[in-house]
Chain A
Amino acid sequence: MLLNSKYELSMLANCRTASNPLEEFNGGLILSASWETRSQEILKYLDFGKITNVILVRYENQGKTKISGNIRNKIRDLCSKHKILIREIVLESVKESHAHYHHAVYSIAEIMNEKGGKWAIDISSMPRRLWCSLICLLDTLNITRHLLFYYSHPKYISTEDSYRQVFYEHTIGEWRLQDIPFSKIVFSSGLYKKNIISTGFEYDKLKAIMYKHETDHNSIICASPGFSDEYTKIADRTAAMIRSAFEIRESDIYKVGVTDIEGVVKIACKLIDENSDKDVSLICAGNKLHSLALCLASLCYSDVNFFVRVPMAYRENTTPTTGEYDIISLENLFAAF
């Protein structure tokens, strides 16, 4: 789909398509080494001989399982074997300051500008604040024409609460909403508001966000169907709970498949257009694929707030992959080849 007459967005491949474009990918790679084993899934599909540069985002805190260290070493070994230049960006997990993200993203963009060519970003376990702000910065700079986003689907491990309800708990503590570096800042009176919120499965955390930012006229984009039947069930239950607790109308709940990025972009753009006289906020409180869609939608408007949810901490337990993935291509038509 054409986005804002500037971007060509397409769902390039998933595990069901015959070939994986990453096998033929020739360009730079940005990936993160976190406590998630999913961080290394992309390595399965890449031919490292064709990779020109690697930017590795790593964490000072290696997590309980020390997985990040293993992945980091694996990537460093691959780079040294293929004589690929590797640059490391160090983050201190979620407690990192806005300024640090700002500088980190700026450094990444600098390297991208210096090296040029295509770039693939593995967003599976990379912080939203990092890659969303990179998208915003690249939108301003117009330096990279082809971007590929790779996302390895998570297989969340569910537990039961004291009411015998199945739930996933991925993060610790309350969520807060945070703007991201290089996104637009809108100063408006807030007389009429519209919040477009992508939701996932962690109801208690979502509830705190919705409650604290007591919001009128919310629209919910619920990831249904989700990554698995159980995820769909919990995401639907979460949406139903939000609807009943916050009196959201049925017509304001949009169920969109978790991998349907174009669908989310279309809904978000439609809602923003319909509410052009209000202060619109796009709030990412769900899965990363929907966050990517909302981030891209925010690029089309100059007066829309964009927030991502940030937890106090992550559980730092590894979430295995389902083996499925999605690859999304974004071509900036204003950037040079």
Chain B
Amino acid sequence: VSNVRNPFRPVKFEDEEHPLLYISELAKKQFVIGNFYFTGKRGCGKTTCLKIADTEFQLNDSVSNNKLYDEIANTTLGVYLNLNNRIIPNFVNMPRGQNKSISRSTEAQDQLTTEFLELTILRAILSSLSRLEQKGRITFSQDDERRICDTASKEYIIQEAVNIDQITLHIDQRLVKLIDASRGLGLALEFRSRMTLPFYPIVKVILDALRKQNNVSLIRILIDDGEVFDLPYQRALNTLVRTPEGIPVCWSIAYVLGKFDPKNTTINNQTLGREERTVVYLDNQEPKTYTQFAAEVIRLRVNRSVETKDDFNISQKLGSFNTNELAGASFEGTTRARALKFIERARLTARSEGVIPYYEQHLQERLPSLHPLSRDALRRKNVASYISLCQRYGLKPRYAGERVISALSDGCIRDYLEMMASIFDVTEKRDTINTEFLSEAVLPIDVQDEGCRDASARKLASIRDYTERSGLLLEKLVQFIGTLAHLIQTNQETSEPLQNPERAIFGIAVNDINRPNIQLIKDGEVDGYLRHIDTDKPYKKNLYCFRLHRQFVPRFNISYRESPDFIFEIQLYQFRQVLNVETTDAQAWAARVYREWQAKKSRGPSFFDGEDSDATE
């Protein structure tokens, strides 16, 4: 296995020829009844969740999950639909063309939007049926086909047809006419106002046909990248989800968080409630669920690369290191007199053989007021103390261990794989794949740390190339915020970083969160470089709070945790300075912002920081 290719690349499963998929418990929910709205940032696994529920995809995914598909998915017909790169007509403000009355009526425009959506979904169901029949996955009689076609042509303005392929063509013709009408082209559009949704009666006929000769009792419609829809389409989609009329049709909709309205419908005063759909936040999973998910994905990846290795255990491989072990690794090889003296002092306070209480010692020296027996207080500040002592003695904090790396991935499996890919690269560079990576032994701290730092640097460098817009500016913002976070957490002039540890959430006071300045932060959130923080504190309701994605942490030598109690407020004018092309020195900006913040604090009981101080006690 000397030529093992990196099992963790590519990090996007869509880019793999034959991906191995781990089906999480969340994704399995789709195989039973219920509507699910999957959301999260880019790269959190939304597409995977949807694709595995598609019946055609299951037929092709013969590698990883056949047993599961056979056991629980065979009674559901999953139909995947992704409208990215497709034409979606806009009927609102459509040019008049030959459709004078339609273009004036909001109600007609809403109905056309719904009709386009319904026909697009219906077309996807029908063409999926046709392909699945060709593959022998399902069967239905000619009479059934006829019945489906008759119902479709009765309910919609489409020509009659004798089989599914023909009716699909007729649906295409209607869709083209709808698109042309939205652009002010073509002849006058045939339009009839309708009181009910004709979609479900047709789906009922399809389901009846499927039940007769197949073991299918449920149709699940899987709509990916829901954010490509405009608001009218989002409302139309929610309306379809809201009104199933007793037909066993379920919906799974995936969208980028914040870019889809999962609530409003086209029906007056009716919104989609919690009981009608479950919103699943994929990048906000419980740590235990996420760790299990990541472990399974990694095991599958390693198994594919090295067939003999089917029991790769990421938890065992990365191990668990306490803060003092990491601090020990940081101090290794140091020759600085101050550092050596500190080690001696720490060693003297050791209670047990071999374990040197570095962080406790640093806390005692920097925060003499802290009660030495207050173990909880000490433990709570362990990472903050480690970060601070590294700065004090000119060391680099080490990032290693399963818990730390899982935290650095910040709930995003793509980022987890990216870090694992970097760690693998380090072992490859050192020619220790067999002895270190694939052996039973825990990976050394320095290997893990180097991998995390490489991935972190690469993520920072990727901003300008990978963001949708304003890449350079966003890269600058991350640099500036990271530098400021480092200063806040490691400042040696005061004991503030230890009193209020792990201050890494930043807030900007704005009255209107739609201001262009805040848009840059929002873009950064969608692209996965920043994370929005919801603060439930009433006295901070005007603050738009965010933090860096944790994968940047090694790049700035800061803590991989952040305290929700301590929010560092950046003034709007200070934030604007970052956007100014003439501000280029991150260190100088961070020092200025920090100085002003300290000055504000020292002037008297600050409204915000007063609360912070209370929180520490």
Contacts and interface: CB of A to CB of B under 8 A. Distances in A.
Contacts of A217: 14-15
Interface in B139-181: 171-172, 175-176, 179
A195 B469 CA distance: 21
B74 interface: no
Nearest to B465: A245
A189 interface: yes
Nearest to B10: A247
A108 to B, nearest CB: 16
B185 interface: yes
A235 B124 CA distance: 38
Nearest to A307: B85
Given A214-B42, A217-B15, A187 B120 contact: yes
Interface in A176-192: 177, 179, 185, 187-191
B86 interface: yes
A208 interface: yes
A225 B531 CA distance: 42
Contact of B469 (A97, A174, A203, A245): A174
Interface stretch (B51-59, B207-215, B276-284): B51-59
Contacts of A241: 465
Contact of A212 (B57, B82, B171, B468): B468
A102 interface: yes
A217 B82 CA distance: 15
Interface string B45-64: 00000010010110000000
Contacts of B465: 203, 207, 241, 244-245
B200 interface: no
Contact of B462 (A98, A102, A245): A245
A191 B471 CA distance: 30
A213 B85 contact: yes
A99 B182 CA distance: 10
B349 interface: no
A195 B15 CA distance: 12
A55 B97 CA distance: 26
A305 B85 CA distance: 9
Interface string A229-253: 0000000000001001111000000
A216 B85 contact: no
A214 B84 contact: yes
- Residue of A185, A187, A195 with most partner-chain B CB within 10 A: A187
Contacts of B224: 190
Contact of B12 (A179, A185, A190, A247): A247
A195 B80 CA distance: 19
Contacts of B95: 97, 99
Contacts of A193: 82, 85
B84 A211 contact: no
B412 interface: no
B120 A190 contact: no
A159 interface: no
Contacts of A189: 79-82, 124, 127-128
A204 interface: yes
Given A99-B185, A208-B469, A245-B465, A191 B15 contact: no
B84 A191 contact: no
A187 B15 CA distance: 23
A215 interface: yes
Contacts of B124: 189
Given A187-B120, A204-B471, A207-B466, A216 B15 contact: yes
B183 interface: yes
A281 interface: yes
B85 A191 contact: no
Interface in B447-489: 462, 465-469, 471-472
Nearest to A189: B124
29 contacts: A97-B95, A97-B184, A99-B184, A179-B87, A185-B179, A187-B171, A189-B79, A189-B80, A189-B81, A189-B82, A189-B127, A190-B84, A190-B224, A193-B82, A204-B471, A207-B465, A207-B468, A208-B469, A211-B466, A214-B42, A215-B85, A216-B14, A217-B14, A241-B465, A247-B10, A247-B11, A305-B85, A305-B86, A307-B85
**Nearest 4 Cβ contacts at the A-B interface:** A216-B14, A190-B82, A245-B465, A247-B10
Given A97-B95, A213-B84, 8 more contacts: A187-B175, A190-B80, A212-B84, A213-B85, A215-B85, A216-B12, A216-B14, A246-B466
